[in-house]
Amino acid sequence: MSSLQIKWKLASPKFRPLWTERKRYRHFVFHGGRGGAKDYSIAIFILDMMLHYRTRVLILREVMNSILESNHQIFVDLITEYGLNEHFELTEREIRCPRTQSQIWFKGCLNPESLKSIQGVDITFFNEAQTVSQKTLDYVLPTVMRKPGSIVIFALNPLFPSDPVYAEYITDQREDTLAVPVGLHDNRFAPAALVAQANSLQQRDPDKYEWVYGGKCLGETTLSLIKMIEVLEARRRIPVRDENLPISAGLDPSGLGQDKTVLVRVRGTEVLSTHTHPGGSVQEVTNWCKDIYMSHNFDSITIDASGSTGVYDLVKQWSQGAVDGPEVYRFLGGESAQRQELHNNKRTESWCWLRDWLREGGSLPNKDDWNELAMVQWQPDGVGERIKLLPKHKLAHSPDFGDALAMALYYRKGIAKKHKQKNTVAPNKQFIQRSSGKGWAG
């Protein structure tokens, strides 16, 4: 076979052992945070092997519902980037190199029986290896990797030290394994925007930075989303008042008498007022909410309807029949977040926005009730860098003040324009008379 010389551009020399040490080690583990170009660099190695030797490659993910969930596109992009289209044949689930009779298969591991038919594999590459189960390792490696001289490559952003790949190939220092830490700082092609994003996260949330970009395991415990020092600083902070901004409210109705009903009003970076109610019927809570609106004013209100839509339905009905009534939003915490790659649902996203609001100058009433914000914890969701909140039933008590404030902040974008126009009403209609909300007490 004639030589084919290609000047591959590796993101880091840390991937060189794939070429120089492949006869010495059976397992190669590249572990670290986001931005280390692990998949990109391993794909270069695989394409290089396919171009020079007859190489059969199996690329696996624990779960792969479609080819879009694999790194098939990375190979397609590299083949195009290096002008290698004449050397490869691309199909939906395979990539072939007629030059050397090499082949790549992309498979999921939920049905390991389907892998039995694949024989003579030279390279097995586990993508997103932090999600690989012990069952998969125990089955796939003895079944597929039988060929002498074959190698296994793992690429992972670690979650927990107890995860099978981490425990077996990183924690245990095996003689047949080369474990290489690689991260954003090793990537000479790292986009400036990604570096800036990483630096910003390091300043805002060092714990999450160490997991997302530093490649550190989280351990077996969850982490506080909002630190107590941040809560205490917000309680001591003198609020900055801007009377031209709209007022948004969040209402967290009590659930089956297990907690209290809380309504919080916010304007800009200031919590104007907090109201609590011992609970009661849907109609009682609705009337209480209407009374607060008449006496204190708010331009919008977001109501938690996760347990029951009763209060939301009645307040919405009342608002639609009132002149100059508030905008009413229904909040279902279990629904998909706007940034689904970062948050597992709306409740997690709303609390992350609350945390960012505090860090951007948000001020809280100087009362111990607000210390509950520091008890809300997060943990990885198992999908990329996405996180989720620890369920309420695992906390000491429900963080009602925080939930109400998070909802008050969630939908307030877009309210400003309506706020400017709210004094324009049709002729012969009468305003609801209420306080302007401009007093220092709100």
Q: Give 353-399 as a 3 state SS string.
A: HHHHHHHCCCECCCCHHHHHHHHCEEEECCCCCCEEECCHHHCCCCC
Asked whether residue 330 falls in the same domain as residue 275, the answer is yes
What is the Cα–Cα distance from 81 to 119, expressed in whole angstroms? 30
Decide which of 432 and 353 is more confident.
353
Residues 116 and 239 in one domain: no
Task: Report H helices in 167-323.
Answer: 192-204, 206-212, 228-236, 282-296, 310-321
Coil/strand/helix, residue 284: helix
Output the domain CATH number for residue 49: 3.40.50.300
pLDDT tens-digit profile of 374-409? 889 888 887 877 899 988 777 767 899 999 999 999
Same domain, 233 and 141: no
Mean pLDDT of all residues belonging to the chain: 86
Q: What is the mean pLDDT of residues 340-347?
A: 93
Taking a C-beta distance cutoff of 8 angstroms, is the pair 344, 388 a contact?
A: yes
Token representation of residue 96: 């072939």
More confidently predicted of 112 and 360: 360
Burial of residue 39 (number of CB atoms within 10 Å: 0-12, 13-18, 19+): middle
Q: Residue 213: how many CB atoms within 10 A of its CB?
A: 25
Which residue segment(s) compose the domain that 417 sits in? Answer: 221-421
DSSP labels, 187-203: -TT--HHHHHHHHHHHH
pLDDT exceeds 50 at position 98: yes
317 and 403 in a common domain:
yes
pLDDT at 323 over 90: no
Residue 272 CB-half CA count within 13 A: 28
- Determine the average pLDDT of the residues in 144-152: 89
Domain count, the chain: 2
For residue 1, what pLDDT band results from cuts at 50, 70 and 90? very low
* Band of residue 439 on the pLDDT scale cut at 50, 70, 90: very low
Looking at 172, 190, 208, which one is the last position of a domain? Answer: 190
**What proportion of the chain, given as a percentage, has pLDDT over 90?**
58
Write the DSSP string, 134-146.
Answer: HHHHHHHHHHH--
